[in-house]
């Protein structure tokens, strides 16, 4: 059918570790270069979670080189996904905070399970960190400036119904109908001539993509100097402790 499905399966919560990101980029590039593949569905093989976002262990107690390598991989993931020539559909079948939300935001269309227990959002501020400008740009392009400003400052995690109401996801469906709906959406987008659709997509996203490309090294340095602060390291350690206790 020309449609691939990438099912995230990195237990326990599909954290975006350096390994995950590297594998994701390689897989995406392979599909991108495969002319038989015109669309890709992103979803999770792990119940209740789409992706928990950037792996905090990669940002905690490591050296500068590691931070640089990790951040470059995060950038690469976004540049490839947001700029993909394929039709990209996120099937958000579980919660999707922070970097997980970015994954969904970077697709062409977002379907979420209509379970109010699942939430999605760029909640970085809750952890004492700041979403980088290109997370913000991607978010603004989806929900507009005001909703983004409020949501980012509050580090909001939006329940599925709320996410739908503010336009963060395009559609809610029951768990049973997810697959069927994803296939239908993909068919609708693939009905368009590839060339025209790709040029149109690029026209809409180029300004924001170019901005990171132009400031990529600066953005890496910003990340390193921010994440290396003792106060930030302390926040992250506390957050990880809290997560461990939750289990």
Q: Is 217 a catalytic residue?
A: no
Between 18 and 86, name the residue whose CB sits nearer to its own copies. Answer: 86
- Quote the least distance from Cβ 135 to its own copies, whole Å: 10
Structure tokens of 90? 């996120």
Q: Considering 21, 93, 114, 124, which one is annotated as catalytic? A: 124
From the list 20-28, 45-53, 92-100, 195-203, the region that binds its own copies by CB under 8 A is 195-203
Binders in 25-64 for its own copies, by CB under 8 A = none
Between 76 and 149, name the residue whose CB sits nearer to its own copies. Answer: 149
- Quote the least distance from Cβ 152 to its own copies, whole Å: 5
Q: Considering 83, 94, 99, 100, which one is annotated as catalytic? A: 99
Assess 244 for contact with its own copies (CB under 8 A): no
Asked if residue 162 lies in contact with residue 117, where contact means CB atoms within 8 angstroms, the answer is no
- Quote the least distance from Cβ 189 to its own copies, whole Å: 7
Assess 195 for contact with its own copies (CB under 8 A): yes
Assess 240 for contact with its own copies (CB under 8 A): no
Q: Is 85 a catalytic residue?
A: no
Binders in 96-115 for its own copies, by CB under 8 A = 108-109
Q: Is 39 a catalytic residue?
A: no
| DSSP track, the chain | --EEEEEE--TTTTEE-HHHHHHHHHHHHHHHH-TT--EEEEEESSTEES--EE-GGGGSS--HHHHHHHHHHHHHHHHHHHT-SSEEEEEE-EEEEHHHHHHHHTSSEEEEE--TT-EEE--GGGGT----HHHHHHHHHHH-HHHHHHHHHHT--EEHHHHHHTTSSSEEE-GGGHHHHHHHHHHHHHTS-HHHHHHHHHHHHHHHHHHHHHTHHHHHHHHHHHHTSHHHHHHHHHHHHHHHHH-
158-159 and 119-121 beta bridge pairing: antiparallel
Q: Considering 14, 21, 81, 123, which one is annotated as catalytic? A: 123
Assess 116 for contact with its own copies (CB under 8 A): no
Assess 5 for contact with its own copies (CB under 8 A): no
How far is 165 from 198, CA to CA, in rounded Å? 28
Assess 230 for contact with its own copies (CB under 8 A): no
Q: Is 100 a catalytic residue?
A: no
Binding site for its own copies (CB under 8 A): 108-109, 124-131, 133, 136, 140-146, 148-150, 152-155, 167, 170, 188-189, 192-193, 195-197, 199-201, 203-205, 231, 235
Query: Which sequence positions are flagged as catalytic?
Result: 54, 99, 123-124
């Amino acid at each position: 059918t020309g449609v691939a499905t990438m099912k995230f399966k990195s237990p326990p919560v599909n954290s975006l570790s350096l390994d995950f990101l590297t594998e994701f980029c390689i897989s995406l590039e392979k599909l991108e270069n495969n002319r038989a593949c015109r669309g890709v569905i992103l979803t999770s093989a792990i119940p209740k979670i789409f992706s928990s976002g950037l792996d905090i262990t990669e940002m905690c107690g490591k050296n500068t080189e590691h931070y640089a390598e990790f951040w470059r991989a995060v950038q690469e993931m976004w540049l490839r996904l947001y700029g993909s020539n394929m039709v990209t559909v996120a099937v958000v079948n579980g919660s999707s905070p922070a970097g997980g939300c970015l994954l969904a935001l970077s697709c062409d269309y977002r379907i979420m399970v209509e379970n109010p227990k699942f939430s999605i959002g760029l909640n970085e501020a809750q952890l004492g960190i700041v979403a980088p400008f290109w997370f913000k740009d991607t978010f603004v392009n989806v929900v507009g400036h005001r909703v983004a400003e409020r949501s980012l400052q509050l580090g909001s995690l939006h329940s599925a119904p709320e996410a739908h109401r503010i336009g963060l996801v395009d559609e809610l469906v029951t768990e049973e109908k997810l697959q069927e709906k994803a296939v239908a959406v993909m068919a609708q987008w693939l009905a368009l001539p590839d060339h025209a659709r790709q040029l149109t997509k690029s026209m809409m996203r180029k300004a924001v993509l170019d901005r990171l490309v132009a400031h990529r090294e600066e953005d890496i340095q910003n990340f390193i100097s921010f994440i290396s602060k003792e106060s930030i390291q302390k926040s992250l350690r506390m957050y990880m402790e809290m997560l461990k206790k939750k289990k």
